[in-house]
Chains A and B, each alone.
Chain A
Amino acid sequence: MIGLGPYVALGAVLFAIGAYGALTRHNPIAVLMCIEMMLNAANINFVAFSSFGGSIDGQIFVIFSLVVAACEAATGLALVLGVYRNRDIQEIGDMHLLKW
């Protein structure tokens, strides 16, 4: 039987990879994917703690979290497409119009 530690470690590693990708990738779609990765790291933690803690709550939260992630991905992709079509911007570093 595997203990709680490896699950939590997997979540941490997944989150760190996601965060690193979100901060460094130039492609907006890759950044979106990295954000999904971070969300899923959190989901793994939810399920792990739920399973070891004896409460079903965490697993139900994961369902909600997945729905939110799906919505976020849909809007995020639509935004990326919109920006690309209207402004011909592919690099996330060039998306810096929202400032003072």
Chain B
Amino acid sequence: MDGLLAVSWLVPFLPLLAFALLTLFGSRLGQGAAWLSILFTGVAAVLAVLLLSPASTYLQDQQHPYQWGFSWLQIGSVTVSLGVSLTGLNLLMLPIVSVIALLVQVYAVGYMHGDARYPRFFAYMSLFTGSMLALVVSPNFLQLYIFWEMVGLCSYLLIGFWYQRSQAAKAAKKAFIVTRIGDVGLLVAIFLIFAATGSFEFSAVIQAVQSRQLGGGFVTAIALLIFLGAAGKSAQFPLHVWLPDAMEGPTPVSALIHAATMVAAGVYLVALTFPIFAASAAAMQVVAWIGAISAFLAATIALAQTDFKRVIAYSTISQLGYMMLGLGVGSITAGMFHLTTHAVFKALLFLAVGAVIHEADTQELDEVSGLWGKMKITAITFFIGALALSGIPPFAGFWSKDGILAAVVSQGNWGLAVLGFLTVLLTAFYIWRIGFRLFFGEQRAPHGYEKVHEAPLMMMVPMGLLALGAIGTGFFGGNISRLLGSGAVPEAGWGVAILATVLALVGIGAAFLTYLRPGFGEAAVARLLGPVWIAFKRKYWIDEGYQAGVVRPTLALAAGVRQADGNIIDTAVESVGAAPGAIGEGVARAQTGRAQTYLAVGTIAVVLLVIVSVIGGSR
């Protein structure tokens, strides 16, 4: 089976090859473009799954991960290599990314059907898949950063895929700029690491940290800078503002990039560089608190949004916050386990609401409801996803979320624990609010309720498979902890499990009472909460705050600089240019056009020269 390890580089390479082929020949393939992309991603996914067993055996036998690479750059005495490193963490990410990418691409065959730029869409999807896979197998910081930016680029391209809509173009720009703020942190961290250790390799850096070669303050600074990059990518407070806007992209994109994989890259990065964080208690505190605050804030915002796709986006922020919380309290296993289950059930939720958007052609809760009669299968898959998200046993979310909560409780930080448990309640409420409002109640849709029917088979099959995953992945916690080798999933204990489940059931019950019992409704909740509800609905005015505090001052500064450039610098430069012209204008008058004048001047000049030279010569 070692032969398989030798071709592990094919996993990221195949989707990238598909991108190249689609870019060159995509327009000629037409609808076939999708199948090319699916074929290549499919082979990569099969390979990624098959790799699990030989690579983990290798890991156990050799006590170090399988490495493959080639030297890419030689800078002085430093060799920068590109390649593949199959650690437990990487081995976990490979199947998650490739299998979900495969399912989402199959779904997109139905969802994107008839789009004018159909091959382009699949080219971008392939590029994303390949870049993400290359990111998660990186053996060093430089390769990680290259593909970190590549997935950011794909995110930008795909959010703005329908660039004709100005909202989508703006959202793409916003996502790119906000994540870039985080990326600068990561880049500076990489520079600092290189300056201190002279190496980009993860193993060398982690060894340097563990052997305490680096100072405590220095390690904290590096950890916080890395976390800044992770928070930008994983949309953690206060850099979370781009993710809800990113919902302007096509729904398969939201499911793949903005729920299951790319946004999880931040969590992956923290898990990958975990020894650096572990060496700094302050950095761990920051990670845990930012995670908990993100989880709680995003969940409260999700309560009041009327765009149901955005609710799920806020839910993603909230769940990513849980993962960060898990890492922050020291349990890689809990964080990565939740990443795995979340990838499955959140992709499922996105695909299910995508089916609704595809059929009803709206994302507004106020415009569509009562779809149960028309879309039973979609509704069932959605509710499976909702059960998994709210953490009802035995669905996937229950196991992983309880792992995180147990880790928090065992650490004994009650502030974090309270936020974590409150978020469970809120999560259950907001997701079932969507479910009840979409599928029950008055039967209506913007283009006529009668026209709505189930989505095409190509969309239903991935939803079904993911629904099975949302039920089943929760039972793989033991396998994941063995693969990662980072300790067992924290034991929830009956207390935590029962409390979390009861809170989730209370949330579901509250949503049921609010939305399905006649005479009560959102208006009543809004009245009850008053200004608090308005704060939720307006997302705590964070966007407005950024607009007033960052965007407008920046634009004003830019306008001022532009004015200064136009008035002061341009004037100076233009004067320098104009001066020779003016001098020339004056001197040109000497050119009269009269040949006799020229001749006279010439003659007089020669005579003078002769006189001068004669006088000079006689001295």
From A19, A31, A93, A99, B603 is in contact (CB under 8 Å) with: A19
A74 within 8 A of B: no
B73 nearest CB across to chain A (Å): 59
Given A19-B603, A22-B599, A23-B603, CB of A97 within 8 Å of CB of B594: no
B75 within 8 A of A: no
Name the A residues within 8 Å of B592 (CB-CB): 96, 99
Name the B residues within 8 Å of A98 (CB-CB): 593
Contact B593 A96 (CB under 8 A): yes
Contact A95 B588 (CB under 8 A): no
Contact B600 A23 (CB under 8 A): yes
Contact B593 A97 (CB under 8 A): yes
A42 nearest CB across to chain B (Å): 14
Query: How distant is the Cα of A99 from the Cα of B131 in the complex, in angstroms?
Result: 67
A93 nearest CB across to chain B (Å): 6
Query: How distant is the Cα of A23 from the Cα of B595 in the complex, in angstroms?
Result: 9
A92 within 8 A of B: yes
B590 nearest CB across to chain A (Å): 9
From A22, A97, A99, A100, B596 is in contact (CB under 8 Å) with: A22
**A92, A95, A99 pick with most chain B CB within 10 angstroms:** A99
Name the B residues within 8 Å of A92 (CB-CB): 594-596
Instruction: Enumerate A71-100 residues with CB–CB distance to B below 8 Å.
Output: 92-93, 95-100
Name the A residues within 8 Å of B588 (CB-CB): 100
B19 nearest CB across to chain A (Å): 61
Query: How distant is the Cα of A95 from the Cα of B593 in the complex, in angstroms?
Result: 7
Query: How distant is the Cα of A24 from the Cα of B589 in the complex, in angstroms?
Result: 22
B164 within 8 A of A: no
Name the A residues within 8 Å of B589 (CB-CB): 100
Query: How distant is the Cα of A21 from the Cα of B215 in the complex, in angstroms?
Result: 97
Contact A93 B591 (CB under 8 A): no
Name the B residues within 8 Å of A100 (CB-CB): 588-589, 591
Query: How distant is the Cα of A93 from the Cα of B599 in the complex, in angstroms?
Result: 13
Instruction: Enumerate A7-31 residues with CB–CB distance to B below 8 Å.
Output: 19, 22-24, 31
Question: How many A residues have CB within 8 A of the partner chain?
Answer: 13
Contact B594 A96 (CB under 8 A): yes
Contact A95 B594 (CB under 8 A): yes
Question: How many B residues have CB within 8 A of the partner chain?
Answer: 11
Q: What are the interface flags for A15-55 relative to B under an 8 Å C-beta threshold, 1 for contact and 0 otherwise?
A: 00001001110000001000000000000000000000000
Contact B594 A93 (CB under 8 A): yes
Query: How distant is the Cα of A24 from the Cα of B596 in the complex, in angstroms?
Result: 8
B373 nearest CB across to chain A (Å): 89
Query: How distant is the Cα of A24 from the Cα of B603 in the complex, in angstroms?
Result: 13
Name the B residues within 8 Å of A97 (CB-CB): 593
B587 nearest CB across to chain A (Å): 9
From B591, B593, B596, A23 is in contact (CB under 8 Å) with: B596
Instruction: Enumerate B574-604 residues with CB–CB distance to A below 8 Å.
Output: 588-589, 591-596, 599-600, 603
Query: How distant is the Cα of A59 from the Cα of B567 in the complex, in angstroms?
Result: 70
A45 nearest CB across to chain B (Å): 15
Name the A residues within 8 Å of B594 (CB-CB): 92-93, 95-96
Name the B residues within 8 Å of A22 (CB-CB): 596, 599
Name the B residues within 8 Å of A19 (CB-CB): 603
Name the A residues within 8 Å of B593 (CB-CB): 95-99
Q: In chain B, what residue has the closest Cβ to A96?
A: B593
Name the A residues within 8 Å of B603 (CB-CB): 19, 23
Q: In chain B, what residue has the closest Cβ to A92?
A: B596
Q: In chain A, what residue has the closest Cβ to B591?
A: A99
Query: How distant is the Cα of A92 from the Cα of B603 in the complex, in angstroms?
Result: 18
B526 nearest CB across to chain A (Å): 81
A75 nearest CB across to chain B (Å): 14
Query: How distant is the Cα of A23 from the Cα of B589 in the complex, in angstroms?
Result: 20
B606 nearest CB across to chain A (Å): 10
B586 nearest CB across to chain A (Å): 11
Query: How distant is the Cα of A92 from the Cα of B589 in the complex, in angstroms?
Result: 19
Instruction: Enumerate B302-322 residues with CB–CB distance to A below 8 Å.
Output: none
Q: In chain B, what residue has the closest Cβ to A20?
A: B603
From A23, A95, A96, B599 is in contact (CB under 8 Å) with: A23
Contact B595 A95 (CB under 8 A): yes
A18 nearest CB across to chain B (Å): 11
Query: How distant is the Cα of A92 from the Cα of B596 in the complex, in angstroms?
Result: 8
Query: How distant is the Cα of A19 from the Cα of B588 in the complex, in angstroms?
Result: 26
Query: How distant is the Cα of A22 from the Cα of B595 in the complex, in angstroms?
Result: 10
Instruction: Enumerate B503-551 residues with CB–CB distance to A below 8 Å.
Output: none
Query: How distant is the Cα of A27 from the Cα of B594 in the complex, in angstroms?
Result: 13
Name the A residues within 8 Å of B591 (CB-CB): 99-100
Query: How distant is the Cα of A54 from the Cα of B588 in the complex, in angstroms?
Result: 49
B258 nearest CB across to chain A (Å): 67
Query: How distant is the Cα of A82 from the Cα of B592 in the complex, in angstroms?
Result: 21
**A93, A95, A100 pick with most chain B CB within 10 angstroms:** A100
Q: In chain A, what residue has the closest Cβ to B584?
A: A100
Query: How distant is the Cα of A46 from the Cα of B593 in the complex, in angstroms?
Result: 33
Query: How distant is the Cα of A93 from the Cα of B596 in the complex, in angstroms?
Result: 8
Name the B residues within 8 Å of A23 (CB-CB): 596, 599-600, 603
A13 nearest CB across to chain B (Å): 16
Q: What are the interface flags for B261-287 relative to A under an 8 Å C-beta threshold, 1 for contact and 0 otherwise?
A: 000000000000000000000000000
Query: How distant is the Cα of A95 from the Cα of B591 in the complex, in angstroms?
Result: 13
Query: How distant is the Cα of A89 from the Cα of B6 in the complex, in angstroms?
Result: 94
A60 nearest CB across to chain B (Å): 26
Query: How distant is the Cα of A1 from the Cα of B600 in the complex, in angstroms?
Result: 38
A28 nearest CB across to chain B (Å): 9
B585 nearest CB across to chain A (Å): 9
Given contact pairs A24-B596, A96-B592, A97-B593, a sample of 5 additional A-B residue pairs in the complex whose CB atoms are under 8 Å apart: A23-B596, A95-B593, A95-B595, A96-B594, A100-B589
- State the 5 A-B residue pairs at the shortest beta-carbon distance, nearest first: A99-B593, A96-B593, A100-B588, A96-B594, A99-B591
A sample of 9 cross-chain residue pairs with beta-carbon separation below 8 angstroms, ordered by A number, consists of A23-B596, A23-B599, A23-B600, A23-B603, A93-B596, A95-B593, A95-B595, A96-B593, A99-B591
